[in-house]
Amino acid sequence: MTTNAELFERARRVIPGGVNSPVRAFRSVGGTPYFVARAEGARVWDVEGTEYLDLVQSYGAIIAGHAHPKVIEAVRAAAGHGTSYGAPTEREVLLAEAVAERVPSCEKVRMVSSGTEATMTALRLARGATGRSKVVKFAGNYHGHGDALLAESGSGVAHLEGQGHQGVPGSAGVPPTAVAETLVEPYNVVPRLDADVACVIVEPVAANMGLVAPQPGFLEGLRTECDRVGALLVFDEVITGFRVARGGAQERFGVRPDLSCFGKVIGGGLNVGAFGGRADLMDQLAPLGPVYQAGTLSGNPLATAAGLAALSLLDTEAYAALEATATRLADGLRSAITGAGLTVCTPRVGPLVGLFVGAEAPTDFEGARRTDEAAYAELFHALLRRGVALAPGGYEILFPGLAHHDGVVDAIVERAAEAAAEVVGRR
């Protein structure tokens, strides 16, 4: 039998760091990553046969549970007709229509292959449409690994040495010129814009520095300030889109952006991204307009099949169930872990749940950095030994889904109490 340690050693010989996305290497929490062999519903099994109750759910790409029969059947049927054509398909049209119907601000939609592609192209479009060059983002918001947005990012980027500050690259290989016109502001504070700003890009619910909700008036203030100077407002809904509400965060908070970026849920677990907005803006994309974007695998027939199947499962009852499950999880974890003597905060926005070790829930990136990441790492491993998988980093969040029924949540909460008691007992 191949062990996780053996497979990790093999991986490190042929893959940088042994992983294809940095946070998976467990550098933030220490130890050896588990290698998943299969998954079903709320559970994953590693190559050693160990079962975990999974709160990672592919970082939010899975919402109905792993290997949902309807999604699997859609992919299987689509694969039988070919995996890629380099030509338009009907399902691309159907998925774009599904997005536009759910999100009224998206009069037109373009499919891409990742959230990073969606955000980087939205920025290009905003600059092309406005004729301006400056971009405003917020500290702790992660918008993928495009050069212009790798400054003061959350998620795994925050653990890199030499992380970016305003106008400073957050990664080696990103020249200073790439972020020279990226202005970084504190989250939950409405900045004063000037007439050189092309767009403001924001996670309407920050989910890459742990979970940080927008304060009342923040998103509304961004809309007003963008309107004042003629800048575009871009919502990065790669995480929140079709999860916090049928129409995403913009429906939940009642703020209409000019452009929106999506991923994760709309691919049903396959590689996908999309961005959309007003027709007059979207029509400035090639082949109609001067802003170029292309992708051989954009609108991939397997991804569109999986995405349509996943969206078809998300009705009014599904969103009510997601909210109830997340509430049960957030309240249960806070009570169990705090009751064992380890102080935590478990903020919740709709079906999204955060887990901070500390007395106060942060409202910005600086607050998130003051939480106890070392204690999070201890709690992470104590839970992992008890068969509960969280994301291996304190800046990630929990993704309960439709497969996390009450019995699963209660089992997680019970094990969390035991894990927290172990952490406290070692201190």
DSSP per-residue letters across 104-162: TT-SEEEEESSHHHHHHHHHHHHHHHHS--EEEEETT----S-GGG-SS--GGGGGSTT
Rounded alpha-carbon distances, angstroms, from residue 130 to 2, 93, 127, 197? 55, 28, 5, 9
Q: Does any domain span residue 6?
A: no
Q: Does any domain span residue 90?
A: yes
What's 189's domain CATH number?
3.40.640.10
| Residue (of 330, 404, 378) closest to 29 by Cα position | 378
Q: What is the pLDDT of residues 112-148, one digit of tens each?
A: 999 999 999 999 999 999 999 999 999 999 999 998 8
Catalytic choice (52, 142, 187, 319) = 142
Q: Which helix (H) or strand (E) holds 275?
A: strand 273-277
* DSSP category for residue 49: -
Contact yes or no for 170/153 (Cβ under 8 A): yes
Tell me how many domains the chain contains: 1
**Separation of alpha carbons 70 and 74, rounded Å:** 6
Is 264 annotated in the active site? yes
Cβ neighbours for 424, distance < 8 A, ≥ 6 positions apart = 340, 341, 342
Identify the pLDDT of residue 170.
72
Q: What is the pLDDT of residues 344-396, one digit of tens each?
A: 999 999 999 999 999 999 999 999 999 999 999 999 999 999 999 999 999 99
Contact yes or no for 201/208 (Cβ under 8 A): no
Please give the share of the chain, as a percent, with pLDDT higher than 90. 91
Confidence of residue 16 (pLDDT cuts 50, 70, 90): very high
Determine how many CB atoms are found less than 10 A away from the CB of residue 140: 30
Contact yes or no for 412/44 (Cβ under 8 A): no
Three-class SS state of 191: coil
Catalytic choice (236, 258, 364, 376) = 236
Q: What is the pLDDT of residues 67-95, one digit of tens each?
A: 999 999 999 999 999 999 999 999 999 99
Task: Return the bridge partners of 71, or none.
Answer: none
Q: Does any domain span residue 30?
A: no
Q: Does any domain span residue 12?
A: no
Burial class (CB in 10 A: 0-12, 13-18, 19+), 50: middle
Q: Does any domain span residue 306?
A: yes
Q: Which domain holds residue 110?
A: 69-312
Catalytic choice (108, 134, 137, 264) = 264
- In this prediction the pTM is 0.94
Q: What is the pLDDT of residues 144-163, one digit of tens each?
A: 999 888 876 666 555 443 33
